[in-house]
Amino acid sequence: MAAPEPPLTDRDVQDAIAAGEYARAWRQLADIYTVVIFRYCYEMFGGDAALAEDLTQQVLMAAGEGLPKFRAQSSVKRWVLGIAHNMVRQEIGTRQRRRDIMSRHRDISEAIHRGHTGPPLAEALADSGFPSFDTHLFAQQQQAKLREAIATLEPRARSIVLLRFGIGTREAELSVAEIAEILGLSRSDVYRRLNTALIQLKKALDDEPA
């Protein structure tokens, strides 16, 4: 009986890229990171599976197109989750602009119905031991509460928490240094934002009725 194949790693992807075998590198990358990317997108959009699936496909396509430009000084993990972060950020921006346009249209419609002729005057857990979603310490109900609490964070803080702790396995989680590189922040700023977000999450969970 043949021995089972060892699990794929970033090194396999990097070796395939170095050999110019981009199709093989893409298949390996997809095998390793499809679920990780999906989890990240799913949690960033509060459990919207359809949107998460669509964004996962877009991230994988972008990664495939970018493989010839990949540089080994960046880990594959950091690189592909950086693509995911940027696409999620773009989607959040698109949705916000769409909401702003719809809001302006509602304001104008209401103003017209009120007889106004002018435009409306509108105004525009705190340590590294915080559990990830897969930890056995959290029951399903507690995980649902945690997901709801994470959804209340502003998008950048939500992304930091998920990239650091919330995408399923320790191997897939990013370091503070890697997150700082993706977001264009200093490490101290990432630490500060992460601690603030975790405190907010802990408070939200502590405030839940028994």
What's the whole-number average pLDDT of the chain?
Answer: 78
Domain count across the chain = 2
Cα 108 to chain centroid, rounded: 35
Q: What is the pLDDT of residues 178-209, one digit of tens each?
A: 999 999 999 999 999 999 998 888 888 777 55
The answer to whether residue 1 is domain-embedded is no
Q: What is the pLDDT of residues 10-68, one digit of tens each?
A: 999 999 999 999 999 999 999 999 999 999 999 999 889 999 999 999 999 999 999 99
Res 1: pLDDT: 55
pLDDT of 166 > 70? The answer is no
165 lies in the same domain as 200: yes
The answer to whether residue 44 is domain-embedded is yes
pLDDT of 81 > 80? The answer is yes
91 lies in the same domain as 177: no
Res 149: pLDDT: 86
- Give the domain extent around 177: 140-206
Res 53: pLDDT: 93
104 lies in the same domain as 153: no
| CATH code of residue 147 | 1.10.10.10
